[in-house]
Amino acid sequence: MTTLTAARLTSQQLGGPLARRPEDVVTRLLAVQGQDPRGARLAVRSRSSGLTAADVDAALTQRRSLLITWLSRGTLHLVTAEDYWWLHPLTTPQLATGNRRRLAQLGVSPAQTEVGVQVVADAVATDGQQTRGCLRERLQADGVPTEGQVLVHVLMAASLAGLVVRGPVVDGEHAYVAVRDWLGDPPAPLDRDEALSRLARRYLTGHGPANDRDLARWAGIPLGAARLGLDLIAGELVRDDDGLVDLAGREPASALPPPRLLGAFEPLLLGWVSRDVVVGAHHEVATSNGLFRPVALVGGRVVATWALGGGVVSLTPLESISRAVLAALRDDARDVLRFLGLPQTPLVVVPASD
């Protein structure tokens, strides 16, 4: 194993002590990519012990301690309610122009966009939580287009305006809610330097060692802003010979985790400019259209992809896998099914296609 791999796996909470609450996992990682609901929940599973997907839903629905919304890179992320208040103003202002441009490309005028945002805001403020289907009907009734990708970009516009987030789980779907009604009054805002220093520190907690380009890519902020954030906490950092920085006093890297199945859009594949130390030659796990397949991690490296269809976990090896490792992956597949509340079925190994 490489020192870098072990250190990052420890930061990612894939090595070392496991979490006991969904909130602890999300706090450690700061933000978990959330456009794939199952993938976000499986990111919690692989870093925790004894939890289920229902525990994640309880944090979203009953405790209101987690939420999903558009943040860095214009992507949906699972974050804590506490971190939403400073991550939103720090990572979303630069996204609004692109959002409005995309709506215009889809044939939605600025006036229609404004009407759409107001319709969404009024719906959640007046009638509480709203599923996407309900909001589609309200938008159509007010003459706002919703076909194709239009609806998601109108909802994104309302989110970027700080009016709505995805909160409770309703019949398996994240419903939209008004930010102030769901989360209460916001805390005192952070100035930009304070927010950037907090971002740098929290990013390294879950991703160190890393560099300024890694932080800029992950957070979707300019490189200069990432450098400033790291400079503001320079006294808390150590730097290695490769220019990577980490938090001083970090706990020693833990042993590599046992073979483990990681979900779609796994944070371990998304946290740095390069994912070579984890995927090696298996770059096909990240597709050209921005999809990140579920993978099997063995010895700190990706060795297979996997899928879950019809209640059956199927594994597609990308290289030779020993019988002992395969047995461990069978055990972890059973835990995936347990976590998701699905009946136990045997793991199926699918030969890789030529």
pLDDT tens digits, residue range 148-188? 999 999 999 999 999 999 999 998 899 999 999 999 999 99
Contacts of 73 (CB under 8 A, 6+ apart): 218, 219, 220
Same domain, 148 and 287: no
Reduce the DSSP state of residue 25 to 3 states and report it: helix
The pLDDT of residue 347 is 97
Q: Which of 164, 183, 202 is the last residue of a domain?
A: 183
What is the per-residue pLDDT across 234-264, written as a single tens digit (0 to 9) for each?
A: 999 999 989 999 999 998 999 999 999 999 9
The 10s digit of each residue's pLDDT in 289-334 is 789 999 999 999 999 999 999 999 999 999 999 999 999 999 999 9
Does one domain contain both 10 and 124?
A: yes
For residue 67, being part of any structural domain is answered with: yes
Q: Is residue 97 part of a domain?
A: yes
Do 175 and 286 fall within a single domain? no
Does some domain include residue 22?
A: yes
Same domain for 126 and 11: yes
Number of structural domains (the chain) is 2
- CA 206, 158, 34, 48 torsion: positive or negative? positive
Residue 288 lies in a domain: yes
Which of 183, 209, 240 is the last residue before a domain boundary?
A: 183
Contact 43, 26 (CB under 8 A): no
Q: How far is CA 188 from CA 82, 138, 195, in A?
A: 12, 34, 12
Give me the pLDDT at residue 353, please: 66
- The answer to whether position 41 is within a domain reads yes
Residue 221 lies in a domain: no
- Angle 305-340-299 from CA coordinates, rounded to 5°: 35
52-93 pLDDT per residue, tens:
999 999 999 999 999 999 999 999 999 999 999 999 999 999
From CA 37, how far away is CA 69, in angstroms rounded? Answer: 12
Which residue segment(s) compose the domain that 316 sits in? 260-349
Q: Supply the DSSP symbol for 352.
A: P
Do 165 and 276 share a domain, yes or no?
no
* Residue 299 shares a structural domain with residue 174: no
As a whole number of angstroms, the distance between CA 175 and CA 67 comes to 10
What's 74's DSSP letter?
G
Token output for 88: 């939103």
